[in-house]
Amino acid sequence: MFKKIDFSGLNYKDLDRYGSHDLKRDEMHSFYQTFDFLELIKKWPEIVGPKMSPVTSPLKIKNSSLFIITKHATYSHELSYLSEEIKTEIFKVFPKLRPVIQKLVFQTQEGFFQQRKAVEEQTTKVVNRLHPQSPKFKLLKLEAERLFSDVADEDLKKIMISIYIQSH
């Protein structure tokens, strides 16, 4: 359980009542109340660059370490050499993380990135489809039927209408 310590009226004699562990836990608790980890995930491409952001992602902060998940062990190995530069970039964007993150730990999980890619593909498929009962679909179909009304072959006419709707 965290103790709330009021530092404004604290004098040296009061420090005897609190252990160093309580002070650190209180500072950590106040930090986690103000830091949003999702912001770190959103700013990750800015921190590591556009080439490394699709194959890496911050996972968690635990025991003064930032855990970073990578797609392959090679990325983990290469990024371990650049850990000081990555920490510097993190601290530029999030100065409050300086006392919290002491080192970077890299973990390899290819399945995470495969799952993320599958979810992205599925959402793009759903977004790009029009429902046959939607007003936009009906308007496009009416316009396509008007444009291709002079086509005699019914199969060709259906294909042309479908292509017209998909292109818009």
- Segments of the chain scoring below 70 in pLDDT: 1-35, 124-128
| pLDDT score at 19 | 53
pLDDT at residue 63 in the model: 86
- Walk me through the domains of the chain, giving residue ranges and CATH numbers: 36-116 (3.30.300), 130-167 (no CATH)
| Interior/surface letters 140-166, b for 16+ CB within 10 angstroms, e for the rest | bbeebeeebeeeeeeeebeebbeebbe
Q: What SS3 state is found at 149?
A: coil
Instruction: With 0.75 as the threshold, say if the pTM is over it.
Output: no
Q: If we measure between CA atoms, which residue out of 110, 117, 107 comes closest to residue 71?
A: 110
Q: Please state the φ and ψ torsions of residue 132, each to the nearest 5 degrees.
A: -60, -20
Type of residue at 111: G
Residue 132's pLDDT is 83
pLDDT of residue 15: 46
> What pLDDT digit, counting tens, does each position of 133-146 carry?
888 888 989 999 99
- Structure token pair of residue 89: 């970039």
Report pLDDT for 118: 86
Q: Which residues fall within 8 angstroms of residue 103, CB to CB, at 6 or more apart?
A: 64, 65, 66, 83
